[in-house]
């Protein structure tokens, strides 16, 4: 009996794969891709052993600051599991430097320990665009699915980082009411890029730039064929007395007409903020 069930499951999986649209169809030609972003202020504390792993104190704090910046902000996005409509119109103008730093690293020594602490503000920006996307092609140790902390191999469609690591979201192709979309459910860090003389262009070389990364967080299993969306980080070293330079957002109070009207629907963004 179990053999029949296994064969049926494999058959259904094969049929679903055969019906899946080509990757490029999910990136709309007349759409630039709608940017989504998050921001945060946080503190990084490092003990002497953690600092000694790096060439300089500044490098230690910048790298840990970038990691924490992405972790805090990516979790906000992953918890929502948003649907995004990617595009391939035009070219995003942020270049191939995916982590930018500013400000000064001037950590404060803790009074009771040898640890040092530094304040940061940061912004995460993600544009679901063909030139900033890629596809997961394989896993480490011949695994068929991946989870948190697993290594993955990716094929970057166009851009890749000039130096240092880059961070990304993991998304799965889906269809809703006849529209091809991506559902974001995980995050990761690109650790290595195998640069080639010829990058993948839309109507040219059929193979992209290969890279290797690690899954940082995911709400479900990661499969071959899932896509990645590279993110831009802007990290600034600040002091405790500095105020974050975020744009002020004023929220108008909502007038309640009736109990029924106040209940959010599945499409109401208020519902996702409460979850």
pLDDT of residue 6: 38
**Counted domains in the chain:** 1
* Residue 160 buriedness (CB in 10 A; 0-12 / 13-18 / 19+): buried
The answer as to whether 249 is a domain residue is no
The answer to whether residues 228 and 130 touch, using CB atoms and an 8 Å cutoff, is no
Segment holding 183, helix H or strand E: strand 179-194
* Spatial distance between the Cα atoms of 270 and 244, rounded to a whole number of angstroms: 26
By residue range, what is the domain housing residue 117? Answer: 23-240
The answer as to whether 40 is a domain residue is yes
- Residue pLDDT tens, the chain, 275 long: 444 433 444 444 443 443 468 898 999 998 989 899 999 999 999 999 999 999 999 999 999 999 999 999 999 999 999 999 999 998 887 788 999 999 999 999 988 889 999 999 999 999 999 999 999 999 988 899 999 999 999 999 999 998 878 999 999 999 999 899 999 999 999 999 986 544 444 334 445 899 999 999 999 999 999 999 999 999 999 987 655 555 544 444 443 334 444 444 444 444 334 44
Q: Does the pTM of the predicted model rise above 0.85?
A: no
273's tokens: 């903020």
pLDDT in tens, 37-68: 999 999 999 999 999 999 999 999 999 999 99
pLDDT of residue 141: 84
């Amino acid at each position: 009996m179990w053999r029949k069930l296994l064969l049926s499951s494999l058959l259904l999986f094969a049929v679903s794969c055969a019906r899946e649209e080509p990757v490029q169809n999910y990136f709309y030609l007349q759409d630039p891709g709608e940017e989504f972003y998050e921001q945060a202020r946080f503190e990084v504390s490092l003990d002497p052993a953690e600092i000694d792993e790096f060439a300089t104190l500044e490098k230690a704090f910048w790298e840990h600051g970038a990691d924490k910046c992405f972790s805090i902000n990516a979790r906000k996005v992953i918890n929502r599991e948003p649907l995004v409509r990617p595009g391939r119109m035009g070219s995003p103008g942020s270049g191939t430097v995916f982590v930018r730093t500013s400000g000064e690293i001037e950590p404060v020594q803790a009074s009771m320990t040898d640890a040092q602490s530094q304040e940061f503000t940061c912004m995460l920006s993600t544009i679901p665009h063909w030139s900033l996307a890629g596809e997961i092609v394989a896993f480490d140790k011949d695994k068929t699915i991946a989870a948190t902390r697993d290594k993955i191999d990716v094929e970057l469609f166009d851009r890749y980082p000039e130096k240092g690591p880059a961070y990304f979201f993991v998304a799965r192709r889906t269809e809703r009411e006849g529209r091809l979309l991506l559902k974001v459910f995980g995050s990761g860090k690109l650790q290595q890029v195998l640069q080639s003389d010829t990058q993948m262009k839309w109507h040219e070389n059929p193979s992209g730039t290969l890279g290797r990364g690690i899954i940082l967080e995911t709400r479900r299993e990661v499969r071959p064929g899932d896509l990645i969306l590279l993110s831009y980080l802007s990290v600034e070293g600040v002091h405790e007395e500095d105020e974050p330079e975020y744009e002020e957002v004023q929220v108008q109070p909502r007038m309640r007409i009736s109990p029924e009207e106040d209940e959010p629907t599945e499409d109401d963004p208020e519902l996702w903020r409460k979850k």
